[in-house]
Amino acid sequence: MRFVKTQDEVAKIQAIYSRPQFMAARSLTVVFETKPEALRDLLPPPLEPTAEAIGSAWVGEIGNSNCVGPFLGAAVYVRARYRDIVGDYCVTMPMSTDAAVTFGRELYGEPKKLAKIVFERQGEHVWGSAERHGIRFMSLRGRMEGAGPLPNPGGVGFDHPPLLVHIDSEVSVQTSQSGKGELVFRESPHDPLADIPVTQVIGATVTEGVIYTRGRVLCEVDPDAFLPYAFGKIDALDVIVEGTLMQAQASRKGSDGRGRWRAG
């Protein structure tokens, strides 16, 4: 019965879960400033904003992995603090394959959704996007200007209290370039990144290498306090129930009829 694993099979699976590896990773990261009040509204307890209101948008390609094979992915993070630990809170993490979605949701509780991901590079120009329900809700571009410094290594249900999970990422970087970046969040009822104001783009970085991750639980979270933040991983139920596809298509454009790039 293949639905039930032997002890040897369980041991092999747990070994992968304890040390996921993502090889031939290529990515573009755009760092931006936002408004402090936006972070205060966005971060669930017990997380708190840091002194700097900083976020980052990421898009990339994983050539292979020891857990879900190759895939494309994207993510948006904002800087946050838990006691003396400063890290990045993941707002959204669209993925190109159902295997990548399932793995990250079940293992780490990451807010992953299936999406169409684009990641391309031509010379010094790098760009990418994430699209769901016909809405390209996230786009970023970078123009690399030279070699950059190497970076430092660095959803559970309510059947029990929510958990705050800390994910350590160890990055073995083969190449790194830095330059100017551009970023746009478009309005979407299912992926409302447009609620996060981008006041200034700080810069962009392209890296290639291998990523290793490891997660650990920091604490249990008050279920009542977390409840308003718990539904960010799912699509807008009112839009789905009403079947308002025309509304979703119309929301591809902002109030002025188009998305806005913020460059820096």
The CATH number covering residue 54 comes to 2.40.400.10
Q: Comparing 33-47, 82-96, 148-162, 211-225, which segment has the lowest mean pLDDT?
A: 148-162
By percentage, how much of the chain surpasses pLDDT 70?
83
Specify the DSSP class assigned to residue 190.
Answer: S
Q: Is residue 4 part of a domain?
A: no
Q: Is residue 63 part of a domain?
A: yes
What pLDDT does residue 194 have?
93
Q: Is residue 238 part of a domain?
A: yes
Confidence bin at 38 (pLDDT 50/70/90): very high
By percentage, how much of the chain surpasses pLDDT 90?
50
Specify the DSSP class assigned to residue 69.
Answer: -
CA atoms within 13 A on the CB side of 25: 23
Mean pLDDT of all residues in 174-179: 89
Residue with tokens 């017990």: 46
Mean pLDDT of all residues in 177-204: 93
Burial of 56 (0-12, 13-18, 19+ CB in 10 A): buried
Q: How far apart are CA 155 and CA 162, in angstroms?
A: 7
Q: Is residue 165 part of a domain?
A: yes
Confidence bin at 215 (pLDDT 50/70/90): confident
| Beta bridge partners of residue 217, listed in sequence order | 165
Q: Is residue 81 part of a domain?
A: yes
Q: Is residue 2 part of a domain?
A: no
Q: Is residue 45 part of a domain?
A: yes
Mean pLDDT of all residues in 57-83: 93
**Of 11, 35, 26, which is closest to residue 262 (Cα–Cα)?**
35
Residue 224 lies in domain: 20-263
Q: Is residue 15 part of a domain?
A: no
Count of the separate structural domains present in the chain: 1
- pLDDT, greater one: 245 or 24: 24
Mean pLDDT of all residues in 101-120: 92
- pLDDT, greater one: 129 or 156: 129
